[in-house]
A and B are shown apart, each in its own frame.
Chain A
Amino acid sequence: MATISENLPTTASRSPFQKWWDRTINTRAAYTYLIPAFVVMGLITFYPLFFQVWMSFTDYNIKSLNPKAPAYEAPKYVGFQNYLDIFPKELKIGPVTIPFFGTDKLSAKVQNFSFPRLLFFNLWWTFSNVPIHVIAGVLIAVLLNVKGLWFKRFYRAIYILPIIIPTLVIATVWRNMFDQDSGAINQAMASVGQLFGVASPVFRIRWLDQIAPPIPWLLPGMSLPLSYYALLITNIWLGWPFMTIVATGALQSIPADLYEAASIDGASPVQQFFAITVPLIRPAMVPAAMYGIIMTFNLFNLIYMMSGGGPLRQTQILVTTAYDLVNGNRLYGMAAAFSIIVFFVLLGLTLLTNQFTKATERYDV
């Protein structure tokens, strides 16, 4: 009879052979349950990933797609060429036939591509977003948790809205809101401006296209175009409610007598916040922040649909670039190499954040 659970109280009284036998029986039962999932995953998840590794060492392009087509060229092995092409400052690619456009001298390189900038911007994008989400989320949760506040349920119902609307819809709607001529943002600013007698042409801000950085000194060595700020505003709108929900759950599990004791001892509300609230909600907030970091790092829909990575590829992140290599340039081999680099970047990021999580856990205990 197979044992169901792995921590039944068996270990002490059983012989090593018995344990080995239990484990074998368990293994057989477990694999019967695993087979369907792993057959499917083997075919459509793992096999494509290994195929991707092979592709990354070839010049797989649009001509290699269909073996029956007259222009077919089998993908050639190029060694590490794809990787070597990605890392330097400019992504050079051979003259490539792009559908509908024909061979183009411009396509001899992907314009304005720079891997170091791309990676650095992606990290900056992530770490300029998530702290704002967490801080705003926690503060709003604390506000909503104030005893005796009216209409709490009403506010909670409204504040959930950014989470429940598909990002695709949010991205397309905000793109239209940031439109230069007819967008809501420019119009709202113009109608406020009117009250102070500022003419409305001032408020025809080119949110998504303006190249000149509005705050040139913010990040030395990298220009952040206006579209970065538009994306930041949108993502703050999108990101804080999740943190508020997680923080609310954690806040409600803090016993009220802690605050009572603290106020009897004469601690101010600010002191109480830092001495009681912050340490006690940290175990919930750290994983939520990690989740936010990975989500923001890979936030495809928002960037692809709002700024398209523009202007001049200045707001591209890794995943939007990977998609452009497939969808725009049809460079499957190059895209495969790029995806593998993305994988290792993510692996590093995950390991780092995990280390950080463990470190903070230890701090709490």
Chain B
Amino acid sequence: MSGTFYTAGKIVRQSLPLLMLLVLLEIIAGQFLNTSEKILGMSSVLMLIPVVNGVGGNIGSILGARITSGLHVGYIEPKLKDRNLRKNLLLSLVLGGSVFLIMGIIIFVITRIMHFETDISIWRLLIIFLASGAILITVLCFICVASALYTYRKGLDPDNIVTPIVTSVGDFIGITSIMVMTLLIGI
């Protein structure tokens, strides 16, 4: 024993099982992409993936952190009807909607100024982006609330569980919605 508070062994043992489970979700998301040779060749659709997943995952993490802190401090009660819980949920939905709109405008401006050739029309690309963002944010916020309440009621510390779950599930939903939207309107 090294006599330190943190030990490499403890860090690995506590993280590895959850990481292995979550990487499977990411692999399934990757396999979805793997089935469509068309999408793998579409630069501008691929470009959307890190943006949608990054912003979605962060909105979920912020909501998760707020709810779990609220539960710990006691200003949120672990039930769906709680007023502060609903306020935080609404905040995340409004936040998500606004950030995706602004990012859509930024993507539009960048492609116009830099004269990027998009493989599909910029309008279709923006519709894919905004629609997948809307689906992701809505589903993810509800998953976030559900997993925070569930882990808290089970007596587990939601801090260790909610963020990893929300980001990995978020990647999965983000990629799936981009794929579905692209197949629906992009090609």
> Do A and B actually bind?
no
Which residues in A have some Cβ–Cβ distance to B below 8 Å? none
Which residues in B have some Cβ–Cβ distance to A below 8 Å? none
